[in-house]
Amino acid sequence: MILRPQLQDIKVIGQYSGRIILGLGLSMLIPLLVAVCFGETAAALDFIISVSICLIMGLALMILCFTRKELRWNHGMIVVSLSWLLAMFLGAVPLYLSRHWGGYLDACFDAMSGFATTGLALVQDLDHLSCAHNMWRHLMMYIGGQGIMIVALTLLVRGAGSALPIYVGEAREEKILPNVVQTARFIWLVSLVYLLMGTLALSFSAASGGMPGLKSLLHGLWVAMAAWDTGGFAPQSQSILYYHNFTFELITISLMLLGSLNFSLHYALWAGKRKEIFRNIETVSFSISVALLFGLSAWGLSREGVYPGAVSLFRKGFYQLISAHTGTGYMTISAYQFAHNWPTLSLLSITLAMAVGAGACSTAGGIKILRVGMIFRALLSDIKKTMLPRSAVLIDKMHHIKDIVLNEKLIRQAALITLTYIFLYLLGTLVGVSLGYPLKLALFESVSAGANVGLSCGITSPAMPVLLKITYIFQMWAGRLEFVSVFALLGTIVALVRGK
Protein backbone atom coordinates (compact mmCIF):
# COMPACT_ATOMS: atom_id res chain seq x y z
CA MET A 1 0.00 0.00 0.00
CA ILE A 2 1.29 3.45 -0.98
CA LEU A 3 1.05 6.01 1.83
CA ARG A 4 0.07 9.54 0.88
CA PRO A 5 2.39 12.27 2.25
CA GLN A 6 1.00 14.09 5.28
CA LEU A 7 0.58 17.85 5.67
CA GLN A 8 3.62 17.96 7.95
CA ASP A 9 5.74 16.35 5.23
CA ILE A 10 4.61 18.95 2.71
CA LYS A 11 5.42 21.73 5.19
CA VAL A 12 8.98 20.47 5.69
CA ILE A 13 9.54 20.25 1.94
CA GLY A 14 8.00 23.69 1.40
CA GLN A 15 10.04 25.27 4.21
CA TYR A 16 13.41 24.14 2.85
CA SER A 17 12.43 24.77 -0.77
CA GLY A 18 11.56 28.32 0.24
CA ARG A 19 15.04 28.76 1.70
CA ILE A 20 16.63 27.57 -1.54
CA ILE A 21 14.51 30.00 -3.58
CA LEU A 22 15.43 32.83 -1.21
CA GLY A 23 19.11 32.03 -1.70
CA LEU A 24 18.63 31.96 -5.47
CA GLY A 25 17.04 35.41 -5.36
CA LEU A 26 19.93 36.80 -3.32
CA SER A 27 22.43 35.41 -5.83
CA MET A 28 20.68 37.44 -8.57
CA LEU A 29 21.85 40.60 -6.82
CA ILE A 30 25.31 40.00 -8.34
CA PRO A 31 24.20 40.38 -12.00
CA LEU A 32 21.93 43.23 -10.88
CA LEU A 33 24.99 45.02 -9.49
CA VAL A 34 26.82 44.36 -12.78
CA ALA A 35 23.91 45.88 -14.71
CA VAL A 36 24.01 49.00 -12.53
CA CYS A 37 27.81 49.34 -12.88
CA PHE A 38 27.67 49.05 -16.69
CA GLY A 39 24.60 51.25 -17.06
CA GLU A 40 22.49 48.43 -18.53
CA THR A 41 19.08 49.80 -17.56
CA ALA A 42 16.96 47.18 -19.31
CA ALA A 43 19.02 44.34 -17.82
CA ALA A 44 18.79 45.90 -14.36
CA LEU A 45 15.01 45.94 -14.65
CA ASP A 46 15.03 42.27 -15.70
CA PHE A 47 16.90 41.33 -12.54
CA ILE A 48 14.84 43.58 -10.25
CA ILE A 49 11.74 41.74 -11.45
CA SER A 50 13.43 38.34 -11.08
CA VAL A 51 14.81 39.06 -7.60
CA SER A 52 11.39 40.29 -6.48
CA ILE A 53 9.70 37.10 -7.72
CA CYS A 54 12.24 34.89 -5.93
CA LEU A 55 12.06 36.81 -2.64
CA ILE A 56 8.26 36.90 -2.62
CA MET A 57 7.94 33.22 -3.51
CA GLY A 58 10.68 32.11 -1.12
CA LEU A 59 9.36 34.10 1.86
CA ALA A 60 5.79 33.02 1.14
CA LEU A 61 6.78 29.34 1.19
CA MET A 62 8.78 29.79 4.40
CA ILE A 63 5.85 31.53 6.14
CA LEU A 64 3.07 29.26 4.85
CA CYS A 65 5.08 26.10 5.49
CA PHE A 66 6.69 27.18 8.76
CA THR A 67 7.90 24.22 10.81
CA ARG A 68 10.79 23.42 13.13
CA LYS A 69 10.86 19.78 12.10
CA GLU A 70 14.13 18.57 10.60
CA LEU A 71 14.43 16.95 7.20
CA ARG A 72 14.24 13.17 6.96
CA TRP A 73 15.94 11.27 4.16
CA ASN A 74 12.88 11.17 1.91
CA HIS A 75 12.27 14.90 2.52
CA GLY A 76 15.87 15.74 1.60
CA MET A 77 15.70 13.81 -1.66
CA ILE A 78 12.47 15.55 -2.67
CA VAL A 79 13.77 19.01 -1.71
CA VAL A 80 16.85 18.47 -3.88
CA SER A 81 15.04 17.35 -7.04
CA LEU A 82 12.22 19.88 -6.61
CA SER A 83 14.59 22.76 -5.89
CA TRP A 84 16.53 22.12 -9.08
CA LEU A 85 13.31 22.37 -11.08
CA LEU A 86 12.29 25.54 -9.25
CA ALA A 87 15.76 26.99 -9.83
CA MET A 88 15.35 26.31 -13.54
CA PHE A 89 11.95 28.01 -13.77
CA LEU A 90 13.05 31.03 -11.72
CA GLY A 91 16.57 31.26 -13.14
CA ALA A 92 15.04 31.42 -16.62
CA VAL A 93 13.03 34.57 -15.85
CA PRO A 94 15.82 37.15 -16.42
CA LEU A 95 16.97 35.23 -19.49
CA TYR A 96 13.49 35.29 -21.00
CA LEU A 97 13.03 38.98 -20.21
CA SER A 98 16.24 39.81 -22.10
CA ARG A 99 14.55 38.78 -25.41
CA HIS A 100 17.63 36.83 -26.46
CA TRP A 101 15.71 33.56 -26.15
CA GLY A 102 12.95 32.51 -28.53
CA GLY A 103 10.54 31.66 -25.71
CA TYR A 104 10.29 30.76 -22.05
CA LEU A 105 10.98 27.07 -22.78
CA ASP A 106 14.26 28.03 -24.47
CA ALA A 107 15.18 30.13 -21.43
CA CYS A 108 14.35 27.19 -19.14
CA PHE A 109 16.55 24.97 -21.32
CA ASP A 110 19.53 27.28 -20.85
CA ALA A 111 18.82 27.73 -17.13
CA MET A 112 18.83 23.96 -16.56
CA SER A 113 21.90 23.67 -18.78
CA GLY A 114 23.60 26.29 -16.61
CA PHE A 115 22.70 24.85 -13.22
CA ALA A 116 23.48 21.31 -14.41
CA THR A 117 26.83 22.54 -15.84
CA THR A 118 25.95 21.15 -19.25
CA GLY A 119 26.69 24.03 -21.62
CA LEU A 120 24.18 23.30 -24.40
CA ALA A 121 22.54 26.61 -25.26
CA LEU A 122 19.59 28.03 -27.20
CA VAL A 123 20.53 31.70 -26.72
CA GLN A 124 20.23 33.89 -29.81
CA ASP A 125 22.73 36.62 -30.73
CA LEU A 126 24.98 35.69 -27.81
CA ASP A 127 27.72 38.04 -29.01
CA HIS A 128 25.53 41.04 -28.13
CA LEU A 129 24.12 39.78 -24.82
CA SER A 130 24.44 42.24 -21.92
CA CYS A 131 27.21 41.85 -19.34
CA ALA A 132 24.61 41.34 -16.61
CA HIS A 133 22.90 38.45 -18.40
CA ASN A 134 26.27 36.91 -19.28
CA MET A 135 27.22 37.17 -15.62
CA TRP A 136 24.01 35.36 -14.66
CA ARG A 137 24.57 32.60 -17.22
CA HIS A 138 28.02 31.87 -15.80
CA LEU A 139 26.98 32.39 -12.19
CA MET A 140 24.27 29.75 -12.63
CA MET A 141 26.97 27.41 -13.85
CA TYR A 142 29.23 28.28 -10.93
CA ILE A 143 26.45 27.69 -8.40
CA GLY A 144 25.42 24.47 -10.12
CA GLY A 145 28.98 23.17 -10.28
CA GLN A 146 29.38 23.31 -6.51
CA GLY A 147 25.72 22.32 -6.17
CA ILE A 148 22.63 24.36 -5.36
CA MET A 149 22.41 22.41 -2.13
CA ILE A 150 26.02 23.29 -1.27
CA VAL A 151 24.95 26.95 -1.33
CA ALA A 152 22.11 26.08 1.02
CA LEU A 153 24.37 24.11 3.35
CA THR A 154 26.87 26.96 3.44
CA LEU A 155 24.45 29.81 4.05
CA LEU A 156 20.91 28.72 4.84
CA VAL A 157 20.79 25.33 6.58
CA ARG A 158 21.87 24.77 10.14
CA GLY A 159 22.37 21.40 11.78
CA ALA A 160 23.89 18.19 10.45
CA GLY A 161 20.55 16.38 10.79
CA SER A 162 18.99 18.51 8.07
CA ALA A 163 22.19 18.93 6.07
CA LEU A 164 23.08 15.30 5.38
CA PRO A 165 19.92 14.28 3.44
CA ILE A 166 20.15 17.14 0.96
CA TYR A 167 23.93 16.75 0.62
CA VAL A 168 23.55 13.09 -0.35
CA GLY A 169 20.46 13.84 -2.46
CA GLU A 170 22.58 15.98 -4.78
CA ALA A 171 24.68 12.96 -5.80
CA ARG A 172 27.47 13.61 -3.30
CA GLU A 173 28.29 10.59 -1.17
CA GLU A 174 31.70 11.46 0.22
CA LYS A 175 32.04 13.53 3.38
CA ILE A 176 35.46 15.16 3.13
CA LEU A 177 35.23 16.51 6.68
CA PRO A 178 33.28 14.99 9.60
CA ASN A 179 30.47 17.56 9.26
CA VAL A 180 28.72 18.03 5.90
CA VAL A 181 28.37 21.79 6.47
CA GLN A 182 32.15 22.00 6.94
CA THR A 183 32.52 19.88 3.81
CA ALA A 184 30.34 22.31 1.86
CA ARG A 185 32.44 25.24 3.01
CA PHE A 186 35.65 23.45 2.02
CA ILE A 187 34.21 22.87 -1.47
CA TRP A 188 33.52 26.62 -1.73
CA LEU A 189 37.03 27.45 -0.49
CA VAL A 190 38.64 25.25 -3.16
CA SER A 191 36.34 26.66 -5.85
CA LEU A 192 37.02 30.29 -4.96
CA VAL A 193 40.80 29.77 -4.87
CA TYR A 194 40.87 28.15 -8.31
CA LEU A 195 38.41 30.70 -9.65
CA LEU A 196 40.74 33.52 -8.61
CA MET A 197 43.79 31.79 -10.08
CA GLY A 198 41.96 30.93 -13.32
CA THR A 199 40.55 34.43 -13.71
CA LEU A 200 43.96 36.07 -13.34
CA ALA A 201 45.65 33.64 -15.75
CA LEU A 202 42.93 33.83 -18.42
CA SER A 203 42.59 37.61 -18.14
CA PHE A 204 46.33 38.08 -18.58
CA SER A 205 46.36 35.69 -21.54
CA ALA A 206 43.41 37.45 -23.21
CA ALA A 207 44.96 40.90 -22.60
CA SER A 208 48.28 39.69 -24.03
CA GLY A 209 46.36 38.64 -27.13
CA GLY A 210 45.10 42.20 -27.64
CA MET A 211 41.75 42.17 -25.81
CA PRO A 212 40.95 45.42 -23.91
CA GLY A 213 41.59 45.35 -20.16
CA LEU A 214 38.04 45.34 -18.75
CA LYS A 215 36.76 42.97 -21.41
CA SER A 216 39.66 40.58 -20.81
CA LEU A 217 38.89 40.60 -17.07
CA LEU A 218 35.21 39.77 -17.61
CA HIS A 219 35.97 37.08 -20.17
CA GLY A 220 38.64 35.65 -17.90
CA LEU A 221 36.18 35.50 -15.00
CA TRP A 222 33.35 33.95 -17.03
CA VAL A 223 35.49 31.36 -18.78
CA ALA A 224 37.22 30.46 -15.50
CA MET A 225 33.81 29.93 -13.86
CA ALA A 226 32.66 27.56 -16.58
CA ALA A 227 36.02 25.78 -17.07
CA TRP A 228 36.51 25.05 -13.35
CA ASP A 229 32.89 23.91 -13.02
CA THR A 230 33.24 21.82 -16.18
CA GLY A 231 30.27 23.69 -17.58
CA GLY A 232 30.90 25.02 -21.08
CA PHE A 233 29.03 28.32 -21.33
CA ALA A 234 31.11 30.97 -23.08
CA PRO A 235 30.54 34.71 -23.58
CA GLN A 236 30.94 34.34 -27.37
CA SER A 237 29.08 32.12 -29.82
CA GLN A 238 32.34 30.61 -31.13
CA SER A 239 33.22 29.26 -27.67
CA ILE A 240 37.01 29.04 -27.10
CA LEU A 241 37.66 29.21 -30.84
CA TYR A 242 36.82 32.94 -30.57
CA TYR A 243 40.11 33.69 -28.77
CA HIS A 244 42.52 32.03 -31.23
CA ASN A 245 44.97 31.86 -28.34
CA PHE A 246 47.03 28.72 -27.63
CA THR A 247 47.95 29.84 -24.11
CA PHE A 248 44.28 30.52 -23.36
CA GLU A 249 43.46 26.98 -24.48
CA LEU A 250 46.18 25.45 -22.27
CA ILE A 251 44.89 27.34 -19.23
CA THR A 252 41.33 26.15 -19.84
CA ILE A 253 42.61 22.55 -20.17
CA SER A 254 44.29 22.93 -16.75
CA LEU A 255 41.10 24.30 -15.19
CA MET A 256 38.97 21.58 -16.77
CA LEU A 257 41.26 18.88 -15.38
CA LEU A 258 41.28 20.48 -11.91
CA GLY A 259 37.49 20.75 -11.95
CA SER A 260 37.15 17.10 -12.89
CA LEU A 261 39.01 15.90 -9.77
CA ASN A 262 37.15 14.51 -6.78
CA PHE A 263 36.94 17.10 -3.98
CA SER A 264 38.25 14.42 -1.59
CA LEU A 265 41.32 14.22 -3.79
CA HIS A 266 41.65 18.01 -3.67
CA TYR A 267 41.56 17.78 0.14
CA ALA A 268 44.26 15.11 0.13
CA LEU A 269 46.48 17.18 -2.18
CA TRP A 270 45.95 20.32 -0.08
CA ALA A 271 46.92 18.27 2.98
CA GLY A 272 50.26 17.47 1.34
CA LYS A 273 49.51 13.92 0.12
CA ARG A 274 50.98 14.47 -3.36
CA LYS A 275 51.43 10.76 -4.10
CA GLU A 276 47.66 10.28 -3.91
CA ILE A 277 47.23 11.57 -7.45
CA PHE A 278 49.41 8.70 -8.76
CA ARG A 279 47.75 5.99 -6.65
CA ASN A 280 44.08 6.93 -6.76
CA ILE A 281 41.90 4.63 -8.85
CA GLU A 282 40.11 7.65 -10.37
CA THR A 283 43.22 9.40 -11.66
CA VAL A 284 44.78 6.14 -12.88
CA SER A 285 41.58 5.07 -14.66
CA PHE A 286 41.08 8.56 -16.10
CA SER A 287 44.63 8.65 -17.49
CA ILE A 288 44.23 5.23 -19.11
CA SER A 289 40.86 6.22 -20.59
CA VAL A 290 42.19 9.51 -21.99
CA ALA A 291 45.17 7.74 -23.58
CA LEU A 292 43.04 5.03 -25.20
CA LEU A 293 40.27 7.31 -26.43
CA PHE A 294 42.64 9.97 -27.73
CA GLY A 295 44.57 7.26 -29.53
CA LEU A 296 41.38 6.11 -31.27
CA SER A 297 40.27 9.65 -32.02
CA ALA A 298 43.68 10.72 -33.34
CA TRP A 299 43.91 7.59 -35.51
CA GLY A 300 40.55 8.37 -37.11
CA LEU A 301 41.41 12.03 -37.66
CA SER A 302 44.89 11.26 -39.03
CA ARG A 303 43.61 8.54 -41.35
CA GLU A 304 41.16 10.99 -42.90
CA GLY A 305 43.72 13.82 -42.92
CA VAL A 306 41.39 16.17 -41.02
CA TYR A 307 44.16 17.86 -39.00
CA PRO A 308 47.64 17.57 -40.53
CA GLY A 309 50.40 18.22 -38.02
CA ALA A 310 50.82 17.48 -34.31
CA VAL A 311 49.98 21.01 -33.10
CA SER A 312 46.73 21.13 -35.06
CA LEU A 313 45.78 17.63 -33.87
CA PHE A 314 46.43 18.68 -30.25
CA ARG A 315 44.51 21.96 -30.46
CA LYS A 316 41.52 20.37 -32.18
CA GLY A 317 41.53 16.66 -31.37
CA PHE A 318 43.01 16.50 -27.87
CA TYR A 319 41.23 19.65 -26.69
CA GLN A 320 37.82 18.26 -27.68
CA LEU A 321 38.60 14.95 -25.98
CA ILE A 322 39.61 16.58 -22.68
CA SER A 323 36.59 18.86 -22.88
CA ALA A 324 34.38 15.79 -23.38
CA HIS A 325 36.01 13.58 -20.75
CA THR A 326 35.92 16.27 -18.06
CA GLY A 327 32.30 17.06 -18.94
CA THR A 328 33.04 20.67 -19.84
CA GLY A 329 31.86 21.21 -23.39
CA TYR A 330 34.26 23.94 -24.53
CA MET A 331 35.00 23.77 -28.24
CA THR A 332 37.83 24.92 -30.50
CA ILE A 333 35.94 23.73 -33.57
CA SER A 334 32.41 24.37 -34.81
CA ALA A 335 29.44 22.03 -34.41
CA TYR A 336 29.40 21.72 -38.21
CA GLN A 337 32.91 20.24 -38.16
CA PHE A 338 31.87 17.61 -35.62
CA ALA A 339 28.95 16.57 -37.80
CA HIS A 340 30.58 16.73 -41.23
CA ASN A 341 34.39 16.61 -40.92
CA TRP A 342 35.04 14.19 -38.07
CA PRO A 343 35.08 10.48 -38.99
CA THR A 344 32.74 8.12 -37.17
CA LEU A 345 35.55 6.52 -35.13
CA SER A 346 36.69 9.88 -33.74
CA LEU A 347 33.13 10.99 -33.04
CA LEU A 348 32.47 7.71 -31.22
CA SER A 349 35.61 8.23 -29.10
CA ILE A 350 34.35 11.65 -28.01
CA THR A 351 30.92 10.16 -27.30
CA LEU A 352 32.46 7.46 -25.06
CA ALA A 353 34.54 10.09 -23.25
CA MET A 354 31.40 12.13 -22.54
CA ALA A 355 29.49 9.07 -21.37
CA VAL A 356 32.18 8.03 -18.89
CA GLY A 357 32.93 11.48 -17.45
CA ALA A 358 35.48 12.24 -14.74
CA GLY A 359 35.71 12.14 -10.94
CA ALA A 360 32.87 11.38 -8.55
CA CYS A 361 32.11 14.18 -6.08
CA SER A 362 33.51 16.67 -8.58
CA THR A 363 31.89 19.27 -10.82
CA ALA A 364 31.76 16.79 -13.74
CA GLY A 365 28.82 14.68 -14.88
CA GLY A 366 28.43 11.31 -16.57
CA ILE A 367 28.79 7.77 -15.25
CA LYS A 368 32.00 8.78 -13.40
CA ILE A 369 35.40 7.19 -13.92
CA LEU A 370 35.38 5.78 -10.36
CA ARG A 371 32.45 3.50 -11.20
CA VAL A 372 34.02 2.42 -14.48
CA GLY A 373 37.30 1.68 -12.68
CA MET A 374 35.47 -0.35 -10.02
CA ILE A 375 33.60 -2.40 -12.61
CA PHE A 376 36.81 -3.21 -14.52
CA ARG A 377 38.60 -4.12 -11.28
CA ALA A 378 35.73 -6.46 -10.42
CA LEU A 379 35.91 -7.98 -13.91
CA LEU A 380 39.64 -8.62 -13.56
CA SER A 381 39.05 -10.06 -10.10
CA ASP A 382 36.51 -12.53 -11.49
CA ILE A 383 38.95 -13.57 -14.21
CA LYS A 384 41.63 -14.17 -11.54
CA LYS A 385 39.21 -16.29 -9.49
CA THR A 386 38.61 -18.63 -12.42
CA MET A 387 42.37 -19.22 -12.68
CA LEU A 388 42.94 -19.90 -8.96
CA PRO A 389 42.18 -23.08 -7.01
CA ARG A 390 38.73 -23.27 -5.44
CA SER A 391 40.24 -23.12 -1.96
CA ALA A 392 41.98 -19.82 -2.67
CA VAL A 393 40.58 -16.67 -1.06
CA LEU A 394 40.97 -13.50 -3.15
CA ILE A 395 40.36 -10.12 -1.53
CA ASP A 396 40.36 -7.34 -4.11
CA LYS A 397 41.07 -3.79 -3.03
CA MET A 398 41.20 -0.40 -4.70
CA HIS A 399 42.86 2.78 -3.51
CA HIS A 400 40.60 5.82 -3.35
CA ILE A 401 42.01 8.17 -0.68
CA LYS A 402 42.32 4.99 1.39
CA ASP A 403 42.33 1.27 0.63
CA ILE A 404 38.78 0.03 0.06
CA VAL A 405 37.71 -3.60 -0.21
CA LEU A 406 35.68 -4.17 -3.37
CA ASN A 407 32.61 -5.99 -2.11
CA GLU A 408 29.46 -7.08 -3.91
CA LYS A 409 27.42 -4.12 -2.63
CA LEU A 410 29.83 -1.53 -4.08
CA ILE A 411 30.01 -3.29 -7.44
CA ARG A 412 26.23 -3.66 -7.64
CA GLN A 413 25.70 0.04 -6.90
CA ALA A 414 28.24 1.05 -9.54
CA ALA A 415 26.70 -1.28 -12.11
CA LEU A 416 23.14 -0.08 -11.43
CA ILE A 417 24.05 3.59 -11.81
CA THR A 418 26.00 2.79 -14.98
CA LEU A 419 23.02 0.95 -16.46
CA THR A 420 20.70 3.81 -15.54
CA TYR A 421 22.95 6.28 -17.35
CA ILE A 422 23.01 4.02 -20.40
CA PHE A 423 19.20 3.95 -20.42
CA LEU A 424 19.18 7.75 -20.10
CA TYR A 425 21.53 8.09 -23.07
CA LEU A 426 19.37 5.68 -25.11
CA LEU A 427 16.22 7.65 -24.26
CA GLY A 428 17.53 10.85 -25.84
CA THR A 429 18.95 8.90 -28.78
CA LEU A 430 15.62 7.21 -29.53
CA VAL A 431 13.77 10.53 -29.35
CA GLY A 432 16.34 12.14 -31.65
CA VAL A 433 16.20 9.32 -34.20
CA SER A 434 12.40 9.27 -34.12
CA LEU A 435 12.43 12.97 -35.00
CA GLY A 436 14.58 12.33 -38.06
CA TYR A 437 18.16 12.92 -36.88
CA PRO A 438 20.98 10.50 -37.94
CA LEU A 439 21.80 7.86 -35.33
CA LYS A 440 25.42 8.85 -34.64
CA LEU A 441 24.49 12.53 -34.23
CA ALA A 442 21.43 11.76 -32.09
CA LEU A 443 23.59 9.54 -29.85
CA PHE A 444 26.30 12.21 -29.59
CA GLU A 445 23.87 14.96 -28.58
CA SER A 446 21.92 12.73 -26.19
CA VAL A 447 25.07 11.66 -24.34
CA SER A 448 26.20 15.29 -24.22
CA ALA A 449 22.92 16.26 -22.53
CA GLY A 450 22.63 13.25 -20.21
CA ALA A 451 26.28 13.42 -19.12
CA ASN A 452 26.07 17.22 -18.63
CA VAL A 453 28.83 17.96 -21.14
CA GLY A 454 27.64 20.53 -23.68
CA LEU A 455 29.54 19.59 -26.84
CA SER A 456 27.20 19.83 -29.82
CA CYS A 457 27.17 18.44 -33.33
CA GLY A 458 24.52 20.98 -34.34
CA ILE A 459 21.27 19.36 -33.20
CA THR A 460 20.81 21.70 -30.25
CA SER A 461 19.38 24.91 -31.69
CA PRO A 462 16.32 27.14 -31.17
CA ALA A 463 14.72 25.41 -34.17
CA MET A 464 14.84 21.86 -32.77
CA PRO A 465 11.49 20.23 -31.88
CA VAL A 466 9.85 21.03 -28.53
CA LEU A 467 9.83 17.33 -27.60
CA LEU A 468 13.61 17.16 -27.95
CA LYS A 469 14.08 20.31 -25.85
CA ILE A 470 11.98 18.79 -23.06
CA THR A 471 13.83 15.46 -23.38
CA TYR A 472 17.22 17.14 -23.05
CA ILE A 473 16.02 19.18 -20.07
CA PHE A 474 14.96 15.95 -18.36
CA GLN A 475 18.28 14.31 -19.22
CA MET A 476 20.30 17.23 -17.85
CA TRP A 477 18.26 17.24 -14.62
CA ALA A 478 18.28 13.48 -14.04
CA GLY A 479 21.91 13.07 -15.09
CA ARG A 480 23.13 15.83 -12.78
CA LEU A 481 21.28 14.45 -9.74
CA GLU A 482 22.15 10.82 -10.55
CA PHE A 483 18.57 9.60 -10.39
CA VAL A 484 17.94 8.76 -6.70
CA SER A 485 16.38 12.09 -5.72
CA VAL A 486 14.57 12.20 -9.09
CA PHE A 487 12.98 8.82 -8.38
CA ALA A 488 12.05 10.05 -4.89
CA LEU A 489 10.18 13.05 -6.34
CA LEU A 490 8.41 10.95 -8.95
CA GLY A 491 7.43 8.44 -6.25
CA THR A 492 6.01 11.23 -4.09
CA ILE A 493 3.91 12.52 -6.99
CA VAL A 494 2.52 9.01 -7.48
CA ALA A 495 1.83 8.75 -3.74
CA LEU A 496 -0.06 12.08 -3.77
CA VAL A 497 -2.28 10.84 -6.58
CA ARG A 498 -2.78 7.20 -5.64
CA GLY A 499 -1.76 7.01 -1.99
CA LYS A 500 -4.10 6.28 0.91
Q: What is the pLDDT of residue 1?
A: 47
- Who's near 499: CB < 8 A, 6+ residues apart? 2, 3, 4, 5
Amino acid at site 50: S
Q: What is the pLDDT of residue 16?
A: 84
Q: What is the pLDDT of residue 391?
A: 62
Low-confidence winner among 114-128, 398-412, 459-473 (lowest mean pLDDT) = 398-412
Q: What is the pLDDT of residue 59?
A: 93
Q: What is the pLDDT of residue 271?
A: 85
Choose between 149 and 294: higher pLDDT. Answer: 294
Low-confidence winner among 107-121, 179-193, 200-214, 274-288 (lowest mean pLDDT) = 179-193
Choose between 362 and 228: higher pLDDT. Answer: 228
Span 286-292, mean pLDDT?
A: 94
Q: Give 186-198 pLDDT, tens digit per residue.
A: 888 888 999 999 9
Cα–Cα distance for residue pair 217/200, rounded to 1 Å: 8
Q: Give 263-273 pLDDT, tens digit per residue.
A: 888 888 888 88
- Who's near 156: CB < 8 A, 6+ residues apart? 19, 20, 22, 23
Q: Give 156-172 pLDDT, tens digit per residue.
A: 555 444 555 555 555 55
Choose between 152 and 91: higher pLDDT. Answer: 91
- Who's near 346: CB < 8 A, 6+ residues apart? 296, 297, 298, 300, 301, 306, 317
Instruction: Confirm if 136 and 107 have CB atoms less than 8 A apart.
Output: no
Q: What is the pLDDT of residue 275?
A: 86
- As beta bridge partners, residue 400 has 402
Q: What is the pLDDT of residue 160?
A: 46
Question: Assign residue 401 a region: left if phi > 0, alpha if psi is -120 to 50, beta otherwise?
Answer: left
Nearest CA-CA partner of 482 in 73, 81, 111: 81
Q: What is the pLDDT of residue 146?
A: 77
Q: What is the pLDDT of residue 286?
A: 93
- The answer, yes or no, to whether residue 439 has pLDDT greater than 70, is yes
Give the DSSP per-residue string, 61-121.
HHHHT---PPP-HHHHHHHHHHHHHHHHHHHHHHHHHTT-SSSHHHHHHHHHHHHTT----
Nearest CA-CA partner of 298 in 246, 349, 357: 349
Cα–Cα distance for residue pair 262/203, rounded to 1 Å: 26
Cα–Cα distance for residue pair 481/300, rounded to 1 Å: 34
Q: What is the pLDDT of residue 227?
A: 94
% of the chain surpassing 90 pLDDT: 55
Q: What is the pLDDT of residue 499?
A: 62
- The answer, yes or no, to whether residue 88 has pLDDT greater than 60, is yes
Alpha carbon distances (Å) from 32 to 38, 156, 195: 10, 21, 21
Q: Give 305-314 pLDDT, tens digit per residue.
A: 898 888 899 9
Q: What is the pLDDT of residue 427?
A: 96
Span 397-411, mean pLDDT?
A: 80
Task: Give the three-state DSSP class for 341.
Answer: coil
Task: Give the three-state DSSP class for 398.
Answer: strand
Q: What is the pLDDT of residue 267?
A: 86
Cα–Cα distance for residue pair 323/342, rounded to 1 Å: 16
Choose the most confident range, by mean pLDDT, from 110-124, 182-196, 380-394.
110-124
Domain ranges of the chain: 1-173+489-500
Query: 204: buried, middle or exposed (CB in 10 Å: 19+, 13-18, 0-12)?
Result: middle
Cα–Cα distance for residue pair 73/356, rounded to 1 Å: 28
Mean pLDDT score of the chain, rounded to an integer?
87
Model-level pTM? 0.92
Instruction: Confirm if 146 and 233 have CB atoms less than 8 A apart.
Output: no
Span 319-336, mean pLDDT?
A: 93
Q: What is the pLDDT of residue 154?
A: 56
Q: Give 339-350 pLDDT, tens digit per residue.
A: 899 999 999 999
Q: What is the pLDDT of residue 13?
A: 86
Span 396-411, mean pLDDT?
A: 80
